[in-house]
Amino acid sequence: MSSSARYGKQYTVPEGATTILKDFTRELLRHQPEDEHYFAFGLDYFNGLLEQEERRGGVGHLSKEELEEVLAEMFIQADADGSGALSLTEFKSVLKNANLGLSDKDAKLLYAEADMDENGEVTYQEFIPLAVDLVQSMYARMEAADAAADEEEEARDLAAEQLHGMGREELNKVMADIFKRADADGSGALSLQEFRKCLKDADIGLTKKEINILMAECDVDQDGTISYDEFIPVAFDILVEIVKGQVLEQRSPSELETYLIALWERMDDERMGRLPVSTLSQALRTADLGLNKIQVHSVVGEAPVEEDGCADYYSFAPKAAIIVGRLLDRAAQAERADAVQHLDQQTLGFDLGQMESALLGAFEAQDPSGSQFVSEDMVLQVLTSADLPMQLGPVETNALMSCIVVEDEGVFYPELCQIAPHVLQYLAENAAIY
């Protein structure tokens, strides 16, 4: 690290900013708006995030009792004459001001449940218990929809990674070359039969199903031919959607996901649904999955760890199952090993011995007594603030925190310093390959 970087003004990156920017970059690459539309695209994207966050942060996060209390208080305040009833206009105003985050459609469903008397007024003491149940069910539906959308997005990202080992530009180039070779008369179009043959002859691993869907989707004008202009812009996106569907099919139901949840539940005595990363790792190491120690830590490194060092293993299980499944796939691991052989070792960014020495020195600086034990909090502090040969991100930090074993005296850090460089090397290889 240069002296200017070390002693210059330090800025704190807001928690979660890296993930938000990474997601935004991914969407930019996927949609590729014209240069003059970048700002409009960004505005729409972040406005959508704000709307989603406002909806999640509303009253729906209160308990049933708290929600009932909030609604009752708002109704009572609106009932100026203390009659116990509100006009329809007042009733709608209260629900709107409650900021429940409901769509217009859901709000209308809520109004429909109001039991109006002959004067067109709503007796809110009778309505509130029903409203609470309805609002909670609506939020449950919203959360389920959000979870399904997140799962689909995750599957789409994984599909893009797995798509015959090629990104958009590389696939488009390969497809363009194939198309032009098959277009003997230079017309810029192929018959469906010619198109099918050229895809089969291309030998890039397209399945029969993928070829059929490409043919159906690319013949935009239904004239029995496929033009270059119809085919190239959509080929990558169509294939991503195909593979995404296959990923989702494989995950539902997932025996591996169910197994992982059961594995972690056995370690969760209080049934909180959350465990420290070291416990997640310990459970995986004791399971008979055929994973080595480095692979276990690389899996746990992807867990969504919160400030207290714990992760919600129910939400993590689907992603963990995908990663573990990939690690157990012999063909995939053979491909990985071959790819590692061709890696330029300089891309890893650090020497194993230098990393071990740097970590050991950082821990010894926090251990003046020379006991070789430090607290779990001190381990996290060293990993996130020490001057190391490479900067550790959340995945790397989580993976190393999963390596620790907390004993009565604390964490025996020399053992961590020995395994840490190998875990980091494995993660760096993954980042370079995938």
pTM: 0.41
The answer to the question of residue 161 being in a domain is no
Structural domain containing residue 33: 17-56
Q: 138's torsion region: left (phi>0), alpha (psi -120 to 50) or beta?
A: alpha
The answer to the question of residue 12 being in a domain is no
The answer to the question of residue 315 being in a domain is yes
Number of domains in the chain: 4
Phi first, then psi: what are they for 38, rounded to 5°?
A: -60, -45
List C-alpha distances in Å: 89 to 78, 111, 121, 122. 11, 11, 9, 10
Highest mean pLDDT among 29-43, 54-68, 143-157, 170-184: 170-184
Quick one: average pLDDT of 417-423? 89
Q: Are 393 and 283 in a shared domain?
A: yes
Highest mean pLDDT among 98-112, 140-154, 208-222: 208-222
| Separation between Cα atoms, residue 198 and residue 178, nearest integer Å | 7
Q: Are 432 and 419 in a shared domain?
A: yes
Residue 141's pLDDT is 56
The answer to the question of residue 162 being in a domain is no
- pLDDT, tens digit (0-9, with 9 covering 90-100), for 341-397: 777 666 566 788 889 999 999 999 999 999 999 998 899 999 988 888 888 888 889
Q: Are 416 and 274 in a shared domain?
A: yes
Residue that wins the pLDDT comparison between 126 and 204: 126
- pLDDT, tens digit (0-9, with 9 covering 90-100), for 269-323: 877 888 998 899 888 887 767 777 888 888 888 888 888 888 888 888 888 888 8
Q: At what angle do helices 413-433 and 352-365 cross, to 10 degrees?
A: 140
Quick one: average pLDDT of 39-43? 68
- pLDDT, tens digit (0-9, with 9 covering 90-100), for 1-33: 333 333 233 334 444 555 566 566 666 666 666
The answer to the question of residue 158 being in a domain is no
Residue 389's pLDDT is 84
CATH number where 188 lies: 1.10.238.10
| Residue that has been written with the tokens 């420290």 in this structure | 276
User: Residue 166 is encoded by which pair of tokens?
Assistant: 């090629």
Q: Are 337 and 425 in a shared domain?
A: yes
pLDDT confidence band for 59 (50 / 70 / 90): very low
Longest dimension (CA), the chain: 86
Contacts 24+ apart (CB under 8 A), 315-318: 316/280, 317/257, 317/260, 317/261, 317/264, 318/151, 318/154, 318/251, 318/254, 318/257
Residue 369's pLDDT is 92
| Separation between Cα atoms, residue 184 and residue 156, nearest integer Å | 35
Q: Are 245 and 317 in a shared domain?
A: no
The answer to the question of residue 152 being in a domain is no
Residue that wins the pLDDT comparison between 240 and 102: 240
Residue that wins the pLDDT comparison between 101 and 167: 167
Q: Are 133 and 97 in a shared domain?
A: yes
Q: Are 107 and 82 in a shared domain?
A: yes
Q: Which of 232, 251, 270 is the last residue of a domain?
A: 251
Q: Are 244 and 331 in a shared domain?
A: no
Q: Are 423 and 324 in a shared domain?
A: yes
List C-alpha distances in Å: 65 to 5, 59, 61, 431. 52, 12, 11, 47
Quick one: average pLDDT of 229-256? 70
The answer to the question of residue 137 being in a domain is yes
CB atoms inside a 10 Å sphere around CB 128: 18
Residue 57's pLDDT is 45
Q: Which of 251, 278, 313 is the last residue of a domain?
A: 251
The answer to the question of residue 403 being in a domain is yes
Tell me if 275 sits within 8 A of 303, measured CB to CB. no
CB atoms inside a 10 Å sphere around CB 167: 13
Give the bridge partners for 122, in sequence order.
86, 116
